[in-house]
Amino acid sequence: MAEIAASCADHLPVRLIGLLAACLALAGCGDESGGEQAAPFDFYVLALSWSPSYCAAGGGDADPQQCDTDRNLGFVVHGLWPQFEDGWPEYCDDDARNPSRAEIDAIDDIIPSDGLIRHQWRKHGTCSGLSADTYFDTTRAAFDRLNLPELRQRRVSAEGVRAAFLEANDGMSDDGLAVTCDSGLLREVRICMTSELDFRACPQVAERSCRQRDLRLPAP
């Protein structure tokens, strides 16, 4: 086992936080009993983007595939991000293959951009200890775990959005999600989940929540 750990460490670029944990888990170093491996991270953040805000902020630089007005998108998945209690891993396998066409087509109803799907896999999915298809299956399962509240007003407060998600989802705690905003726009809702996709607290994420009382919520 020491030799496997040393081999993993020898291939670690120092800029990658958490790659050793992922490498050890994938090499089978975590459980000599042959039982289920522990996830190589502490929890997930499911990041939901309000797509009309992304398109409004991005203007001509926004992804045309996501911002096609015929799609009428509201909340979409930005990503499912492995996290540590302090910080997060990213880009854990520079040599990982891109998702296949079939894998992209299977998830693009909730991650509405081929480029974003590939980026999320490279930056976050490679740190999950999962294959690409299992990572995207897990992303869909996390999204399906939620009840999305209806946000009908075009002006909202960050606290009002938080309250709407808490009311719609039993078991979600006040310190288990964050709302982000930028330039007066509601941008994202970030929800913390265990590796089994149960809601959980994540104070480090929640404390970075937006506090603005007047945010624009562009219509889909």
Given a contact cutoff of 8 angstroms between Cβ atoms, the answer to whether 198 and 192 are in contact is: no
What are the structure tokens assigned to 216, written together?
């624009």
Same domain, 49 and 4: no
CATH number at residue 156: 3.90.730.10
d(CA 186, CA 153): 12
* Percent of the chain clearing pLDDT 70 (strictly above): 83
DSSP label at residue 100:
P
Same domain, 62 and 2: no
pTM reported for the whole predicted model: 0.82
Determine the structural domain holding residue 179 and report its residue range: 40-216
d(CA 30, CA 195): 16
Given a contact cutoff of 8 angstroms between Cβ atoms, the answer to whether 146 and 140 are in contact is: no
Same domain, 132 and 204: yes
Domain total of the chain? 2
pLDDT band for position 27 (cuts 50, 70, 90): very low
Same domain, 187 and 109: yes
3-state secondary structure 33-99: CCCCCCCCCCEEEEEEEEHHHHHHHHHHHCCCCCCCHHHCCCEEEEEEEEECCCCCCCCCCCCCCCC
What are the structure tokens assigned to 189, written together?
């809702």
**pLDDT tens digits along 99-128:** 999 999 999 999 999 999 999 999 999 999
pLDDT greater than 60 at residue 215: yes
Low-confidence winner among 3-17, 54-68, 93-107, 205-219 (lowest mean pLDDT): 3-17
Same domain, 26 and 59: no
Same domain, 19 and 67: no
**pLDDT tens digits along 31-81:** 443 444 678 999 999 999 999 999 999 988 999 999 998 999 999 999 999
Same domain, 62 and 97: yes
Same domain, 75 and 123: yes
d(CA 125, CA 140): 13
